[in-house]
Structure 1
Amino acid sequence: MVLPHLENDFYVDDCLTGAETIPEALQRQQQLNKLLQISGFKLRKWCTNNFQVLQGVPREDITLNVQLEETSYEDYTIKTLGITWTPTTDHLYDLPAHLQEEWKRYREELKVLNTIKVPRHVYSGKIPVTAEIHTFVDDSEKAYGTAVYIRATYKDKRRMIQLLCAKSHLAPINTITLPRLELKAAVLGAQLTSKINEDLAMKNASTYYWSDSRIVLSWINCSSSIRDKFVATRVATIHELSIPKQWRHVASEHNAADVLSRGMTASKFAEHTMWFYGPMFLHGSSSTWPSPFIATNEELIIMNPPKVSQSSVMTITKEEDIIYTIQHNNSFNKLLRVIAYMMHFRRKKKYISHTIEFEEIMEARKIVFRNIQNIDFKDDIKHLKRQRETLKGSPINSLSPFLDQNGILRVGGRLEAANISFDSKHPILLPYNDTVVKMILVQIHKVNMHCGPQALLTTSRQQFWILKGKTMARSTVKACVKCTKAKPKLMEQIMGNLPPLRVTQARPFFNSGVDYCGPFKIHYKKHRRSPHTPVLEKSMVTIQRLKDKILPPGNQINLAIPNYWIFNGILYQTEDSDYHIDLRRSSITTSQCTSA
């Protein structure tokens, strides 16, 4: 029986449990002690709201200063698992100290609610001659709501007003204006009243709506074609459930729904007669009520300003900036088509085709290049037109630029007689790090199957000469997602183990090696002996010195030579060779290595 409590009532080493009766609590206490002591766990710091449970517990195992039978400890609190508990009153607190007093006052105020009584029968057991529905709406920064009242008239001309129902909501977290909150309260009131008319079969009863916001009443009396979507949607809902003439204005001090939006303590609420029986003017004749609401012309204009006609107008303050304001989605071709369409419809013709021709695309290219150059090379172009040369110190001086017949700046050079296209002879000069130039490089990169930086630079220079083109080509390829994903990872060859001669400790020159570079071709005449490369001859001299000067008599050394047929031939030459070494009679031991 105790196992479920051991599993569910423990958090790490803290136990928080309870029982319906004192004997059941004592039994559970004994079972938990017995079960946990088997494993060496002793339960300590016992605390309870009934001192009888602690009678069999040693004093050292009871929480310090807990003596429930003494009244001096009635305010003693203990904290466990983040919850503050007062054992004597058996209350839990999870509030800071400065809020506990406020909570206590609120708790005492709640007791007053037990004294409030509301009659179940709306008409107090009588049958009225007429019945009216009056709905009040109100809002504040904290909440908004509605209260619905029944106004009944009996045969003896006596009137009775009774609260029927009410509904409220907290204000949204996102702050909105008070008129909009009041409008939400008006929607809530119309919906609640419509539900009452349906449930109580009072569709034919006279219905009145009361609000203290003239702004909301102005919205309701306007047509639902208000430009503000938030307001228009809710006004349309109100018009579906009510008639604008049913809505009237009431002063704030006579608005019964004010209690819902602002709140009050329970003691004041129990004595608030307007909440239970409505405002005083409802108890009198309808002739004494506030007059129906009529919005003034000023209010109608403010709440629903006249619609301003809109027309699309394109203005260009600077011709060079137009290409940077076009939405081209990073596509150079789309940029050209947009400009071509603009030039297409600019022509003053009676009939204009909607199809763009090739000549218009080419004209758009010229416009794009002229605008780019007029921004970055503006001073150079002006100086070039006046004096047929660029400014001194200009970074494009070394390119010998000139203006072609279309006013586009191109690179000069000495390829005029070459049998290549004009664009290849004199590429169009483009600036570094320009947005449109980047799009051009991206397009060339994609058309050429995602070529590398060097191929991209070479291909682009068949038409364009981009300043710092190599840098832009590298950045274009680096920014390409497909190229980044498809870039192979180079494998690194793991070097093999070193031979024993390289890792064995020995005397100097005991383990030696010979290598060569080349071969170097030398000229020789016919009928002369076969030539030797200088490096090989030097190698043979080195071997001879090892034998004659370094190698002591009777000893041997290890000599590693390249694994190449020329060395083998030299080492085994005939006796006519000037550098002949007979390994069979020498003290040198050779071994082949894999170096070339």
Structure 2
Amino acid sequence: MPIEDFRLKTVTFGVNCAPYLAIRTLHQLAEDCQSEYPLAKSILLHETYIDDILSGGHDIQSTLNAMTQVTEALKPAGFPLRKMSANHPEILEPIHDSDLLDVDFLKFQDASSTKTLGIQWNALTDTFTYAYDPLLAAHSCTKRQILSAVAKLFDPAGWLTPIMILAKMLLQQLWMEGTDWDENIKPGALQKWNAFYVNLPKIENIKIPRWVQYTPDKPIQLHGFSDASEKAFCACVYLSR
């Protein structure tokens, strides 16, 4: 039997190159549809993370136009949008029930929350929140367990950096002390970790508004500050109207 070559024309998930191929496919689709769906191109290129699209507009009509263009651009490529949500009922109205995250979205408090990149977003209050399972103080702990606990809190926006920097400084201390991965940390370090971790669930009280009071027709100013110490450095940017 002669040798034949076969070419796989679909993205195989679970392999190392899958995230790149998925994003590269969307970028190519954005280029192909730019003449017919210009709004979709910008969203697919700049407001997409793997298979999540986070976008919006400054008025209802522009948001509906963008949503329609993205939906139509993805449909021929075999990427129908699912689990859609919004913070205004007029945006959800034209969406079929089967494509909604929840048919009771914006009707009840407990049905109006969704998780995006590890962050909870409640559409009714239009705020971001965090959730973390509490853990009782331990009599012993390893460096591996600390790193695992810190990694569970995904914070891509960096809003919790003033809090999480304490845990990262502790990990830095463990490295400098030469603590092995599965070795119990020293009593001083354990005391610092327990003090940090038992208070970590309090981040559930943090509520960050999604809208920063910005509108395109009003000028704004950005004010940046930075500082450093022997243990860490930080930077923050304030938006001023």
TM-score (norm 2): 0.39
Higher RCO (C-alpha 8 Å, min separation 6): 2
Larger radius of gyration: 1
Q: TM-score, normalised by structure 1?
A: 0.17
